Amino acid sequence: MSGSTLIMVALAGIFLLLFLVIRTKLHAFVALLLVSLLVGIAAGMPLNEVIISIQNGMGGTLGFVAVVVGLGAMFGKMLEVSGGAERLASTMISKFGEDKAQWALGVTGFIVAIPVFFDVGFIILVPIVYGLARKTGKSLLHYGIPLLAGLAVTHSFIPPTPGPIAVAELVGAELGWVILFGVLAGIPAMILAGPVFGRFIGKKIHVLIPDYMELEEKEYDKDLPSFAMITSLILIPLVLILFNTLSGVLLEEGNMVREILTFLGHPFVALTIATLLTFYLLGTKRGYSRQEVQNIATKALEPAGIIILVTGAGGVFKQVLIDSGVGEVLGDMMGDSALPPIVLAFLIAAAVRVAQGSATVAMVTAAGLITPLLEMVGMTGPALGLIVIAIASGATVLSHVNDSGFWLVNRYFGMDVKDTLKSWTVMETIIGLTGFVVVLIISFFI
């Protein structure tokens, strides 16, 4: 089959995927599997090889992603149930002072979203935003935008959150580099989209607490865990993973210290250590029975299951593109482009994000399309980490009415669509553009 025909097959598959997700509301997991089947058949693959590609794509992706996302979800659920997020927020506001509460909320969101899903973190912490707005008389956006920016930045850029985990696995990037570049891109993104933009938009749009959202203060049957314990637990897996990556750069192969750090810093081991410590320190040591801890961990896997399956289906799509030969043609076509891979990665993710709304689907689709080019040009090491953040940045921009996050903020802040576009959508776009600019600049030196 000619290269031009394969390109048409790939484009038809992408448009069909968008149609199924947007117009027919077919679940992304099923849509990705169906499109992968059809692309493989249309590209002329033998039917049994299409099935083998699906098995290899799903198995190869989930062998890593399922373990990391599952452990991360249990870790985050224990933090949520124990009141760790509230402890972080209250301590940060106390340390920064009420006049700098915006910065405290931005930093809190940045830390909390490492183990806790974005929407859960927001729902847990939004009563603090309500309390500050009620006390000071300022717009909800003055405090809410910094919190949302902190949560959104980490949710998009820093593992073990599912998005960057999925993209890192699909493009073959080391998590240590992804964490490092995610932090470097995320800090300025959080500052600009959070306290800076929040102060501006809070003066332009005065939002009061909606009548239907007068929440009762959440009560815990146990004292909240200490700030030091919570921050230590969150940092343990990140530090171990970073040590793993840095040891591979600084120490010679065969060095005993490098071997130990490589083992301890593998995401499986690092997250297992952190999760077990969380079960003990936030669970059994604080009076929870073993059965209660088990129930909490089981409950955590319910939302994780959807993310895992969608990511696996993204791996299937990528594998079918490669095995059918479409990927090679796509790689050649993108390789002939005047745009560097990091820019192409951002633009593809942004286009899919705007079209269908889901950041996760945008990330896995962009990763599947860009991977053949990365393999063709031989991109490795830290450069792949930059590609992951570029994709995550593209999948963050221009959130609008087809994104569930848009309506979550709309409901909790009681805004109309126009004001949500002016606040939430602009905030997300600032995050995405800032993250992309940072990694683009770094790419000139790597």
State residue 198's pLDDT score: 92
Distance CA 171, CA 106 (A): 30
pLDDT tens digit sequence for 313-355: 878 887 887 787 776 776 666 766 778 889 989 998 898 888 7
Supply φ then ψ for residue 260, to 5 degrees: -65, -45
Location of structure tokens 């600084």 = 250
- Residue of 324, 441, 424, 356 whose CA lies nearest to 390: 441
Where does residue 387 fall: left (phi above 0), alpha (psi -120 to 50 degrees), or beta otherwise? alpha
State residue 112's pLDDT score: 85
How many CB atoms neighbour CB 16 within 10 A? Answer: 15
- Domain locations in the chain as residue ranges: 3-67+95-217+303-443
Higher pLDDT, 201 or 412: 201
Distance CA 232, CA 397 (A): 31
Q: Letter for the amino acid at 343?
A: V
Distance CA 386, CA 410 (A): 32
User: Is the pLDDT assigned to residue 383 strictly greater than 60?
Assistant: yes
Measured between alpha carbons, how far is residue 218 from residues 86, 121, 238 in Å?
10, 14, 30
Q: How many CA atoms lie within 13 A of 432 on its CB side?
A: 26
The stretch 292-307 carries a mean pLDDT of: 82
- Residue of 308, 428, 417, 321 whose CA lies nearest to 376: 321
User: Is the pLDDT assigned to residue 215 strictly greater than 60?
Assistant: no
pLDDT tens digit sequence for 25-39: 788 788 888 888 988
User: Is the pLDDT assigned to residue 221 strictly greater than 60?
Assistant: no
User: Is the pLDDT assigned to residue 1 strictly greater than 70?
Assistant: no
The two tokens of residue 98 are 């009420």
- DSSP for residue 422: I
User: Is the pLDDT assigned to residue 397 strictly greater than 60?
Assistant: yes
How many CB atoms neighbour CB 111 within 10 A? Answer: 24
How many CB atoms neighbour CB 192 within 10 A? Answer: 16
Distance CA 278, CA 119 (A): 21
Measured between alpha carbons, how far is residue 93 from residues 84, 98, 107, 129, 208 in Å?
14, 6, 10, 11, 21
DSSP assignments along 273-305, one per residue: HHHHHHIIIIIGGGT--HHHHHHHHHHHHHHHH
How many CB atoms neighbour CB 250 within 10 A? Answer: 12
Location of structure tokens 């995550």 = 392
The two tokens of residue 144 are 């809410």
The stretch 348-374 carries a mean pLDDT of: 82
Distance CA 37, CA 55 (A): 11
State residue 217's pLDDT score: 56
Q: Letter for the amino acid at 417?
A: V
Distant-in-sequence, close-in-space partners of 260: CB < 8 Å, separation ≥ 6 = none
Is the distance from CB of 50 to CB of 40 less than 8 angstroms?
A: yes
The stretch 235-242 carries a mean pLDDT of: 88
Is the distance from CB of 314 to CB of 170 less than 8 angstroms?
A: yes
Location of structure tokens 């992951």 = 388
Name the percent of the chain lying above pLDDT 90: 20
User: Is the pLDDT assigned to residue 404 strictly greater than 60?
Assistant: yes
Cis peptide before 160, with omega less than 30 degrees from 0? yes
Confidence of residue 136 (pLDDT cuts 50, 70, 90): confident
Is the distance from CB of 413 to CB of 177 less than 8 angstroms?
A: no
Q: Pinpoint the alpha helices (H) of 137-174.
A: 140-157, 162-171
User: Is the pLDDT assigned to residue 285 strictly greater than 70?
Assistant: yes
Burial level of 239, CB count in 10 A (0-12/13-18/19+)?
A: middle
Distance CA 150, CA 194 (A): 7
Confidence of residue 356 (pLDDT cuts 50, 70, 90): confident
Is the distance from CB of 301 to CB of 66 less than 8 angstroms?
A: no
Q: Letter for the amino acid at 419?
A: D
How many CB atoms neighbour CB 30 within 10 A? Answer: 14
